[in-house]
Amino acid sequence: MVTGFKLQVTSCKWSLGCLCFVVLCLLSLQSLAQRVTTTTNKSTIRIGEQFELKLTVDPAANSTLLLETWFNLPDSFNHFEVLQRLPIDTIEVGGAKSFTQKILITSYDTGTFKLPEFAVKLVGNKTLTSLPLPIKVLPVNISNMQDYNDIKEIIEVEPETDWWLWGKIGVGALLLLLLIAFVIRRFFSKSSNKPIKKIAVSVHDVLQQIDALQPLIASQQYKLFFTSLITITRNFSDAQLGLTSLTKTTDEYMVLLKGKVGNAPTQVQYYQLLRLSDAVKFAKYQPATTECDQAIHAAKTFVTTIHSFNYQPRANAV
């Protein structure tokens, strides 16, 4: 009986020792694991505002990290656009090297989007993948707008059918088609090969027109001030770039300007001016005097930047 009891005790000790050894091995493997982390300095941004994405690859303890290919981020992905890629930094801690890269990103679409999984390939055909991160993009910063009112939906009314009006419209449309056919037949062949000419506009005159809007701020005519300011800058950009944007919405106008300003911060600043102007004109937002002064500064910066970028040699373009 004593011998059997000793055998049972010895068997239990051996099983417990094996279990401890397995747990220690698993913990050791976990501590040696290589890992990829992605972090951002902001989870919520305004449209056109940039944020920082940090990609980090940490090696296993007391080991060398051999990379075959780094993260492959396209210039545009999932409603995001890459503005700048900083160099890859190498940090050595305790004999082990980790790699880090910072990338500046922005978005010109509103909504909640996810930064997808990013993968890095190690030597030996091993791939490490990061976790996706959500980013919320707001149309405009309205946190301090106490007088901000929501834009009400248009109520549609079913009109009665006016057949006499439809008859006049039909006759007018027919005459218009005949006129268009005549114009195309007469002038299309002569003008089809002519490129769109960019109209030379004096920057000095445009800046004077912007300064002339100062009295509207003093008299608190904010709607007229922003309407006039955006009209001046739109006319200038149309003349410089050969565009026709006065019939376009704000979003369509922003798409036309994309990549043609030559200065990303100036473009973002002007986009925010357009959003603030819409809030004043359509949501009855009452801006502060400092916001109006900043609007004038943003408009002047846009005018001078787009003019210098449009007329400088391409080799020196920003």
List every span in the chain annotated with CATH 2.60.120.570: 35-138
Q: Which of 174-178, 194-198, 282-286 has the lowest mean pLDDT?
A: 194-198
Q: Would you say domain 198-316 falls under CATH 3.40.5?
A: no
Question: Taking 70 as the threshold, does the pLDDT of residue 15 lie above it?
Answer: no
**CA–CA distances in Å: residue 313 to residues 51, 308, 309:** 31, 10, 8
Which of 81-95, 130-144, 184-198, 209-223 has the highest average model confidence (pLDDT)?
Answer: 209-223
Mean per-residue pLDDT, 69-90: 87
pLDDT the model gives residue 5? 43
Q: What are 245-265's pLDDT values in tens digits? A: 888 898 898 888 888 877 788
Mean pLDDT rounded to a whole number for the chain? 78
pLDDT the model gives residue 173? 92
pLDDT the model gives residue 48? 87
Distance CA 74, CA 67 (A): 19
Burial 35-69 (b: 16+ CB within 10 A, else e): ebebebeeeebbbbbbbebebbbbbeeeeebebee
pLDDT the model gives residue 230? 93
Distance CA 270, CA 232 (A): 13
Question: Taking 90 as the threshold, does the pLDDT of residue 71 lie above it?
Answer: no
Question: Taking 50 as the threshold, does the pLDDT of residue 192 lie above it?
Answer: no
Question: Taking 50 as the threshold, does the pLDDT of residue 37 lie above it?
Answer: yes
Question: Taking 50 as the threshold, does the pLDDT of residue 310 lie above it?
Answer: yes
With residue 88 as reference, give the H or E element that holds it. Answer: none
The residues, ordered by sequence, that sit 6+ positions from 203 with a Cβ below 8 Å of its Cβ are 303, 304, 307
Band the pLDDT of 16: cuts 50, 70, 90.
Answer: low
Question: Taking 70 as the threshold, does the pLDDT of residue 68 lie above it?
Answer: yes
Q: Supply the CATH classification number for the domain 35-138.
A: 2.60.120.570
Distance CA 78, CA 134 (A): 11
Can you read off the two tokens belonging to residue 232? Answer: 């001046």
Band the pLDDT of 284: cuts 50, 70, 90.
Answer: confident
List every span in the chain annotated with CATH 1.20.120: 198-316
Q: How many CB atoms lie within 10 A of CB 6?
A: 10
Mean per-residue pLDDT, 94-113: 85
| Residue with tokens 């268009």, as numbered in its chain | 180
Question: Taking 80 as the threshold, does the pLDDT of residue 155 lie above it?
Answer: no
Question: Taking 90 as the threshold, does the pLDDT of residue 151 lie above it?
Answer: no
